[in-house]
A and B are shown apart, each in its own frame.
Chain A
Amino acid sequence: MVAKTQQSDPEDGGRELWGTRIGVILAVAGSAVGLGNFLRFPGNAAENGGGAFMLPYFVSLLVIGIPLCWAEWTMGRYGGTKGFNSAPGIFSVLWPNPTAKYVGAFALLIPLIIYMYYVLVEAWCLGYAIKYLSGDLMREGKDPKFYKNHLFDFIGANEDGALFSPGNWPFLLTLLACFAFNFFLIYRGVTKGIERFCRIAMPLMVILALIVLVRVLTLGAPVEEDQNVVTGLGFMWNPVGDKLTDPQTWLAASGQIFFSLSVGFGIIINYASYLRKNDDVVLSGLTSSSMNEFFEVCLGGLITLPAAFIFLGPAVAGLTGSNFSLGFIALPNVFAAMPGGQLFGFLWFFMLFVAAITSSVSMLQPVIAFFEEGLGLKRHAAAAILGLLSALGCGFVAWFSRDTKALDTMDFWVGTFLIFILAMLQAVIYGWIFGIKKGDIEAHQGAHIRIPRFVQFMLKYITPAYLLVVFFLFCFYKLPSSDTLLTEIDAPSAKAIATGDVPEAVRETLAASEIEIPAESVVAGDLSTTLLVKKAAAGPTIVFIEPVNDKFGIYQHKAGQFEGILNSPVAFSSVCFIAVVFAFLLILVRIAGERWEQEGRFRTVEGSAS
């Protein structure tokens, strides 16, 4: 059915190319399928209206997800046929302007920074899989606190530098193994490394996920009668109607589509550049997107939350706000109580590890391609420099492990914020500079199905506008800090709280917002400065009391990202680190641009275009 692999084609100037049609589809799908499909999607859905979340989710998929995928595939293949595999080169071909190559630097920064923390999470998955294999995580099963403490110890969330303390060498070895495996694949190249691995890894993931799915759907009601598969599915899929009108639901759905499909990462554009002029991009792009949706909706949507609900009940709602809590605290509790839990725990975490590695390896390829073609480095030199750079970043994230502050900061500013920026830039370059007419002709070169005509119109007007609205909403909700009034209380109650005696009625009201007030957390003093601090699973929650008219209000303070940077030296250092890496990449892009000019690479492109 499929031709055997080749690494380069003399007819295509000897450049590196994908070996098979299904190979490139599996590689792109492998890049998209990751932890987000199994942990982020169900948590997002449950927090944003369950079944009601699916409407904005599918709208986002159709308006921004699939159209942008097609645009990235088309632009990537076009750049590749003009002799470029790296984003700075491809963008220079698409937009003959000296600024274009610097826009391409975003498509290097994003995958590189994400790799720095993603490989750490990958090592957590492998570490948990090994622990299930050896039975370590089953010995003290059925103790919810054990799994939380274990996770915090394992990832060093209690103290900076904890991962490098003596006695923690097994984790460091795991991290080193993940690092080495990623670089082994990348060193072997796109065909012999990435493609060959994905052709084994993707079917393996389907098999592992299906085994776990069958186990979850046949669990029955092992704990309580009303905690069964049907109520578990109800927790995930029952719609909460009023969530549809909440802008945050639409924001969450768009973010999920972005993160899940790897749109705006700079990866698809690089992968597509290894295609030949007449290789299909329309059907391939749609197939890889739909495979990602299969993992997310059909597997992630049926496994994670229903399983957690069956064993933990409605209490699991408190863990959906954090991917790590859901994956590494809730599910180990489930496996501890589940018959055959050790085996299924191993299969689950090994599947997450495989999903993570198909994604992490794709994050290295755009940068290594740039080092090779921009700086003229051979594969081993490029791999060595990239290895050093990414090890430095990974070491930074691993050292500042307290409350996963460095990881969260990088994930927000690069893994969310910059992805929006790059996606918008790509939409503008495709729709307004490259042009939808040219894009339509280019996309259908060798295509096996047609893109509906209105999609090109959407790519020019609707997709950038939709992205812009979502981006402004995102900035409005996430960047500044906010205070939410939880309840109003009278003066005697406020005085009682200030002395550490919280009235039962107030305690119950706060409990409805998932805020428990341990007595020792009350900071007594002036009523207007009384603070009640609760460290929740999803992060610290600060509650304070302030006079409102002739009463007192209990407010919940949510720190925005700006406040986070100003108040935390680690968050501030993380942002500085990102800026330094970006500056370094910009310098390299400038050097590469001068090199390409001297070699007449752009003149060749202009010549072939005319």
Chain B
Amino acid sequence: MLSSTILAAAEPLSGAGWSIMLVSIGSVLTLVSFCLYKVLSLPPVDVEEHIKGPLEIDTGDTDETD
């Protein structure tokens, strides 16, 4: 098995290799672009509406002693 992998390795990218590489990379790029587009184009209101007080609220738990 291993030797057959090595033999295939010495060859240039075949038609099947090109197809698999392009389909794999293309699918992932399409998916990540779609997701990022959706996330970044969402209105920020639903995040901001939760903010009821100052933007930097410190819980204070790192300042208190035990």
Shortest Cβ gap from B57 to chain A (Å): 5
Size of the chain B interface, CB-CB below 8 angstroms? 49
Q: A514 is contacted by which of B2, B4, B8, B27 (Cβ under 8 Å)?
A: B2
Shortest Cβ gap from A232 to chain B (Å): 9
Q: Is the CB of B39 within 8 A of A238?
A: no
Q: Is the CB of A379 within 8 A of B62?
A: yes
A586-610 residues with Cβ-Cβ distance < 8 A to B are: none
Shortest Cβ gap from A126 to chain B (Å): 26
Q: Is the CB of B25 within 8 A of A301?
A: yes
Question: A237 interface residue, CB < 8 Å from B?
Answer: yes
Q: Is the CB of A317 within 8 A of B39?
A: no
Q: Give the docked Cα–Cα distance between A189 and B61 (Å).
A: 10
B-side contacts of A3, CB under 8 Å? 44, 47-48, 51
Question: A322 interface residue, CB < 8 Å from B?
Answer: no
Q: Is the CB of A237 within 8 A of B28?
A: no
Q: Give the docked Cα–Cα distance between A51 and B61 (Å).
A: 51
Q: Is the interface of A mostly helix, strand, loop or mixed?
A: helix
Q: Give the docked Cα–Cα distance between A24 and B6 (Å).
A: 42
Q: A237-B20, A238-B14, A239-B17 are in contact. Are A290 and B4 (CB under 8 A)?
A: no
Most buried by B among A49, A234, A378, A380: A234
Question: A278 interface residue, CB < 8 Å from B?
Answer: yes
A-side contacts of B16, CB under 8 Å? 51, 238-239
Q: A283-B38, A290-B31 are in contact. Are A10 and B53 (CB under 8 A)?
A: yes
Q: Is the CB of A448 within 8 A of B20?
A: no
Q: Give the docked Cα–Cα distance between A310 and B36 (Å).
A: 34
Q: Give the docked Cα–Cα distance between A301 and B38 (Å).
A: 26
B-side contacts of A293, CB under 8 Å? 28, 31-32
B1-37 residues with Cβ-Cβ distance < 8 A to A are: 1-6, 8-14, 16-18, 20-21, 24-25, 27-29, 31-32, 35-36
Q: B55 is contacted by which of A5, A58, A230, A446 (Cβ under 8 Å)?
A: A5
Most buried by A among B2, B50, B56, B62: B50
Q: Give the docked Cα–Cα distance between A226 and B56 (Å).
A: 59
Q: Give the docked Cα–Cα distance between A65 and B21 (Å).
A: 21
Closest B-chain residue to A12, C-beta based?
A: B50
Q: Give the docked Cα–Cα distance between A301 and B24 (Å).
A: 10
Q: Give the docked Cα–Cα distance between A7 and B46 (Å).
A: 17
Q: Is the CB of B62 within 8 A of A50?
A: no
B-side contacts of A1, CB under 8 Å? 40, 44
A-side contacts of B4, CB under 8 Å? 240, 242
Q: Give the docked Cα–Cα distance between A377 and B61 (Å).
A: 10
Q: Give the docked Cα–Cα distance between A125 and B57 (Å).
A: 36
Q: A6 is contacted by which of B2, B12, B42, B55 (Cβ under 8 Å)?
A: B55
Q: Mark A170-205, 1 if CB is under 8 A from B, else 0.
A: 000000000000000001110000000000000000
Q: Is the CB of A21 within 8 A of B47?
A: yes
Q: Is the CB of A9 within 8 A of B52?
A: yes
Q: Is the CB of B20 within 8 A of A47?
A: no
Question: A561 interface residue, CB < 8 Å from B?
Answer: no
Q: A317 is contacted by which of B6, B28, B50, B61 (Cβ under 8 Å)?
A: B6
Q: Give the docked Cα–Cα distance between A514 and B5 (Å).
A: 12
Question: A381 interface residue, CB < 8 Å from B?
Answer: yes
Q: Give the docked Cα–Cα distance between A17 and B60 (Å).
A: 14
Q: Give the docked Cα–Cα distance between A293 and B56 (Å).
A: 33
Q: Mark A202-237, 1 if CB is under 8 A from B, else 0.
A: 000000000000000000000000100011011111
Q: Give the docked Cα–Cα distance between A281 and B31 (Å).
A: 16
A-side contacts of B48, CB under 8 Å? 3
20 contacts between A and B (CB under 8 A): A3-B44, A10-B53, A11-B50, A20-B47, A47-B2, A54-B24, A231-B13, A234-B17, A237-B13, A239-B17, A283-B35, A294-B32, A301-B24, A301-B25, A314-B9, A317-B2, A317-B9, A449-B38, A513-B2, A514-B2
Q: Pick the 6 closest A-B CB pairs, nearest first.
A: A51-B20, A287-B35, A238-B17, A234-B13, A235-B9, A290-B32
Q: Which residues of B contact A (CB under 8 A)?
A: 1-6, 8-14, 16-18, 20-21, 24-25, 27-29, 31-32, 35-36, 38-40, 42, 44, 46-48, 50-53, 55-59, 61-62, 64-66
Other than A233-B17, A240-B4, give 16 A-B pairs with Cβ distance below 8 A: A5-B55, A8-B57, A10-B52, A21-B47, A25-B39, A226-B10, A231-B12, A233-B21, A234-B17, A237-B21, A239-B16, A293-B28, A294-B29, A317-B9, A378-B62, A378-B65
